[in-house]
Amino acid sequence: MRSRPTSSERRYPPVIKVIVDCDNTFGLPKLPIDDGQTIIYLLGRPDIEIVGITTTFGNSGIDDVYPATCELMKKLGRTDIPVLRGASDYSTGETEASEFLIGKAAEFKGEINLIAIGTMANLKTASDCDPDFFRNLCQITTMGGYFHRLPYKGWCDVKEVNFSGDGGAAWRVFRAECPVTIMSAHICFALPFGLRELAPVADWDLEQYFIMLDLLLESSEFLDDAQDYLWDLLPAVYLSYPDLFPDRKIRIASSPEEIESGILRSGDDGAEVNVPDYILDVEECYAIINDAWKKVRFIGGLR
Amino acid sequence: MMKKRVIVNYSSAFGLPGVQPDAGMALIHLLESKSIKLDAIVVSGAGPELNRVTAAIDWLLKFSGRTDLRVFGRCSDAEEKTADEAEREAADLLTAFLNESEKTKGGKAVLLDIGEPQVLKLAAARMTSLSDYFSAIVFWNPGSTPPQRRGAAYPHGSLQDETLYSVYTESCCPLTSFGEEAAFQSPLDIDELVDIRSSSKPLFYLLKDYLLCRAADANIVSQDFLYRLPPAVYLTNPELFSIQERTKNGFTFNICPYITDIKAYNSILHSSWTSWHKQEASL
């Protein structure tokens, strides 16, 4: 496990190569913003290099996710980072996204950190096509699943998206031949994102502030709260600050069918993964995220 | 129904943290009112504040599905212009718009002035008589009586800008001035939030956040007053206001000391807020 960067490392940060596999819907009405917030965070990190972004269905269909991600990168002035179109459902098979994943994992053997924050369909296809795919990765950090019903206002009956979209693919990813860290829904409740958390953004980027405000207020109509959580941010923060999330190695024994209902079940016969269950310092986590967001600017906003 | 045409002078960064919500709520009321046609919005804001105000008005109009509205004062290229330059450009455009509008639209619009004076003053200097372009002027005139309510924290205890005030008082169109008195009948506190929640959830959460921020500040109380709302409601429902004629320095104008039916006033506001943000946003 990598320790938290020292001050000298922060001045000369080691580059962490990242591919983001996501179901980003940032900028689309009434759809989650956390994938986009994750991308913005990663772009603001001096120690992160985004090698590419692969897209998959999940928060919405691929016909929404792919153009929304291209548009986001355009508005962030980062069209130099490739965005690849991936699976439209669990049976899609090979796509430019899965080819990209295989190619980059092989090219940078042992260096690619895969942040998987959409459905796992692209990853499974990549591993079906190249048995060495998972072995070639440095690690996978992902978000999804819950071990019991979520006891939070507005979220008790919310359907899990990332793992449940393709239970068979998630089942395979849990058994990947590289370290796998899962941020379950439970740990994400430590990082709410509402108007209070949004307020500091107004100090450095009004465009970014109003885009996020828009989406928070829109969500208030159907979530009954102008608050969301920084779900998909956690696997990204983990890459630079793993010791903010104390390791908890467990075996996940859920069947693909159980995973499709969003449920993670531990059991001795399961695949060993790291599932941290708390954040050591929540305020520091917000400071880290804000510090990265501060460095990123929208070009003309999402309008 | 013939709609009343209105031009609003506006300076609020409503939507940003800690910003007093009254002007934003007034604008939402007009945007959603079936009896009003907004011709344009004039935006002023002192110095760097202009960037915040223009970003906020852009957001508010987008969130309201009204990006079609003319806004004078928005920097055409904010990075390249100072606030002064942007305001001069806005005054030029507004002058041309008023001249053109008089020729093409037949009839004059009402001016609702609930904002800072910069752009209107510059426009007034470019015209023989700015007030001749309006059928009536309704304006927010703070400090006409000293605030005497607990929590009445309106910071500018002064009269409307003197130059503009003299433009208004020399006007031959009806002039109606609103001070704090009517607003004191319509406070904003936790109790009011309950009703607002059932009319507009986005507005509810914005106001809740605003009040909680006020409550967290030891120097002020959580209650506020929606100062700039009464002049906006007066445009849609003048029958709800007591209007008294006053003469000062030889000029006659109206003042509004109180709202006659506060229940009807609140009901009208909740009804207009209910229809706010029913449009779909898009990339």
Q: B219: pLDDT confidence band, cut at 50, 70 and 90?
A: low
Q: Identity (one letter) of the amino acid at A28?
A: L
Beta-strand ranges (E) seen in chain A are 16-22, 48-55, 83-84, 112-117, 139-143, 180-183, 192-194, 227-229, 249-252, 271-274
Is B243 at the interface with chain A, CB within 8 A? no
Average pLDDT in chain B? 82
Question: What proportion of chain B, given as a percentage, has pLDDT over 90?
Answer: 33
Tell whether the torsion through CA atoms of A256, A258, A260 and A266 is positive or negative.
Answer: negative
Chain B's closest residue to A218, CA to CA, is B202
Average pLDDT in chain A? 90
**How far is CA A136 from each of CA A84, A102, A110, A112, A176, rounded to the nearest angstrom?**
20, 9, 5, 8, 10
Select from B199, B185, B176 the least CA-distant residue to B269.
Answer: B199
DSSP state of B12: -
pLDDT at B281 over 90: no
Answer yes or no: is A65 within a domain.
yes
CA distance B58 to chain A (A): 9
Please judge whether A220 and B209 are an interchain contact, meaning their C-beta atoms are less than 8 angstroms apart: no
Lowest mean pLDDT segment, chosen from A25-34, B30-39, B52-61, B165-174: B165-174
Answer yes or no: is A299 within a domain.
no
Partner-chain residue, chosen from B52, B202, B281, that has the shortest CB–CB distance to A29: B281
Which A positions 199-228 lie with beta carbon below 8 A of chain B? 199, 202, 206-207, 209-210, 213-214, 216-218, 220-221, 224-226
Helix (H) or strand (E) holding A217: helix A206-223
Domain of residue A169, residue span? 8-294
DSSP state of A150: -
Answer yes or no: is A52 within a domain.
yes
The pLDDT of residue A8: 47
Distance from C-alpha of B74 to C-alpha of A213, rounded to nearest angstrom:
20
Select from B218, B210, B254, B206 the least CA-distant residue to B234.
Answer: B254
CA distance B86 to chain A (A): 18
Taking the CB of residue A295, how many other CB atoms lie within 10 A of it? 14
The pLDDT of residue B222: 72
Task: Select the residue from B75, B201, B282 to test the A interface by mutation, using most A Cβ atoms within 10 A.
Answer: B201
Q: B162: pLDDT confidence band, cut at 50, 70 and 90?
A: confident
Q: Identity (one letter) of the amino acid at B71?
A: V
Number of domains in chain A: 1
Partner-chain residue, chosen from A68, A209, A217, that has the shortest CB–CB distance to B205: A217
Chain A's closest residue to B213, CA to CA, is A196
Radius of gyration (C-alpha) of chain A in whole angstroms: 18
Partner-chain residue, chosen from A68, A214, A226, that has the shortest CB–CB distance to B205: A226
- Is there a contact between B133 and B100 (Cβ–Cβ < 8 Å)? no
Which B positions 18-37 lie with beta carbon below 8 A of chain A? 18
Q: B275: pLDDT confidence band, cut at 50, 70 and 90?
A: confident
Please judge whether A220 and B202 are an interchain contact, meaning their C-beta atoms are less than 8 angstroms apart: yes
Listed by start position, the domains of chain B span 4-184+226-258
ipTM of the complex: 0.81
Which A positions 254-283 lie with beta carbon below 8 A of chain B? none
Task: Select the residue from A63, A213, A221 to test the B interface by mutation, using most B Cβ atoms within 10 A.
Answer: A213
- The string of pLDDT tens digits covering residues A280-290 is 999 999 999 99
- The string of pLDDT tens digits covering residues A32-82 is 889 999 999 999 999 999 999 999 999 999 999 999 999 999 999 999 999
Q: B28: pLDDT confidence band, cut at 50, 70 and 90?
A: very high
CA distance A25 to chain B (A): 10
Is B15 at the interface with chain A, CB within 8 A? yes
Select from B146, B164, B162 the least CA-distant residue to B154.
Answer: B146
Q: Which residues of A199-219 are buried (b: 16+ CB within 10 A; e: fewer)?
A: bebbeebbbbbbbbbbbbbbb
Is A28 at the interface with chain B, CB within 8 A? yes
Please judge whether B56 and A220 are an interchain contact, meaning their C-beta atoms are less than 8 angstroms apart: no
Q: B164: pLDDT confidence band, cut at 50, 70 and 90?
A: confident
Summarize the confidence of residues A225-240 as an average pLDDT: 93
A62-75 and A34-43 are packed helices; what angle lies between their axes, rounded to 10 degrees?
30
pLDDT at B283 over 50: no
pLDDT at B278 over 80: no
Answer yes or no: is A230 within a domain.
yes
The pLDDT of residue A155: 64
Please tell me chain A's helix, strand, coil percentages from 3-state DSSP, rounded to the nearest 5. 40, 15, 45
Which residues sit opposite B258 in a β-bridge?
B242
Distance from C-alpha of B50 to C-alpha of B140, rounded to nearest angstrom:
20
CATH of the domain at A241: 3.90.245.10
A206-223 and B201-216 are packed helices; what angle lies between their axes, rounded to 10 degrees?
120
Q: Is B108 helix (H, G, I), strand (E, B) or coil?
A: coil
Is B62 at the interface with chain A, CB within 8 A? yes
pLDDT at A151 over 70: no
Tokens standing for B260?
């006659």
Is B16 at the interface with chain A, CB within 8 A? yes
- The string of pLDDT tens digits covering residues A171-228 is 999 999 999 999 999 999 899 999 999 999 999 988 889 988 988 888 787 777 888 8
pTM (2 decimals)? 0.83
Summarize the confidence of residues A242-259 as an average pLDDT: 95
Strand order, beta sheet including B241-248: B70-72, B36-43, B4-10, B109-113, B134-140, B175-178, B251-259, B241-248
| DSSP annotation string for A15-51 | PEEEEEEE---TTSTTS--HHHHHHHHHHT-TTEEEE
CB–CB contacts below 8 A, A to B: 66
The pLDDT of residue B173: 86
CA distance B55 to chain A (A): 7
Which range of B103-112, B122-131, B150-159 scores highest in mean pLDDT? It is B122-131
Answer yes or no: is A143 within a domain.
yes
Q: Which residue has the higher pLDDT, B45 or B18?
A: B18
Please judge whether A221 and B201 are an interchain contact, meaning their C-beta atoms are less than 8 angstroms apart: yes
Tokens standing for A236?
């990204």
Distance from C-alpha of B110 to C-alpha of A124, rounded to nearest angstrom:
64
Answer yes or no: is A303 within a domain.
no
Is B281 at the interface with chain A, CB within 8 A? yes
Q: A102: pLDDT confidence band, cut at 50, 70 and 90?
A: very high
Please judge whether A226 and B201 are an interchain contact, meaning their C-beta atoms are less than 8 angstroms apart: yes
Overall fold of domain B4-184+226-258: Inosine-uridine Nucleoside N-ribohydrolase; Chain A (3.90.245)
Please judge whether A195 and B58 are an interchain contact, meaning their C-beta atoms are less than 8 angstroms apart: no
The pLDDT of residue A7: 47
- The string of pLDDT tens digits covering residues B88-116 is 888 888 888 888 876 666 678 999 999 88
